[in-house]
Structure 1
């Protein structure tokens, strides 16, 4: 990402809570929608899109850190969960995000894993930006199910 060419999207309302999201020419359009009873659930909700952005960024940061040290993660699977509740004013908010990141390779096969696990989150632009307002808990597991963080 470059400050000279910052990412942007255009959202156009289709009907009620449905918006067509255009990612310039870099990706296909996505239709977002709120779940019932507000919307029809015809696409991912804004909360789903937030989770996808945070999960993707954290997963990409981990992948970059692993491969920087010539490790083959043998695939990464990330599950992102939003805890939604009411704030002090009674408004619905994303109160917390949990990420469960699973790499396919066993920990014993990877170099510099302690260093990687200790710092990969710091390089996630989206995750760290969101974390400034929403707590994010990250757990990382290896291919044998061993918890690394």
Structure 2
């Protein structure tokens, strides 16, 4: 389904590497900043926002897929981390993103889990878009700590 109004954000420099990010009417702005020595570290850096976007999208996609089959995931948690490295020109880049998803429910309590685990990533607009350029490593665990994917 195409969005009628494509997502859009606006950024305004406050000072140095600090920017106010506005997401639209009715949404609170966010202050971003680079960590020292470039910035003051007063807000998330762009890399944090990238990780948050991928982790949030993956968690939402898993939640959507679980509830589509009337499952109660009993909460979904996500943790995303980046492997950083330098490219051939010596520039710092995100080399890989790791996303760990955890659902509160035990796997045995969930219907159609195999199908859900095979498909939910495909619903994640951000994760799939980013994965086209940055390798994405995903793992999923249930409420008993059992690795499902």
**Same fold (TM > 0.5):** yes
Q: Which aligned pairs between 1:111-126 and structure 2 lie closer than 5 A?
A: 111-126=111-126
State the SS of the aligned residue for 2:47. Answer: helix
Equivalent in the alignment of 1:57:
57
1:1-149 alignment runs, 5 A limit: 2-149=2-149
Cα gap change, 1:54/1:26 in structure 2, threshold over 3 Å: closer, same or farther? Answer: farther
Q: Give the C-alpha shift of residue 4 in structure 1.
A: 2.2
Q: What's the C-alpha RMSD, in Å, of the aligned pairs? A: 1.0
Q: TM-score scaled to structure 2, two decimals?
A: 0.98
Structure 1 length as normaliser, TM-score? 0.98
After the TM superposition, which segments of 4 or more aligned residues of structure 1 sit over 6 Å from their partners?
A: none
- Alignment length, in residue pairs? 149
Distance 2:130 2:140 in 1: 19
For residues 56 and 142 of structure 2, what CA distance do their matches in structure 1 show?
A: 18
Tell me how far apart the structure 2 counterparts of residues 26 and 56 of structure 1 sit (CA, whole Å).
Answer: 20
Q: Which runs of 5+ in 2 are unaligned?
A: none
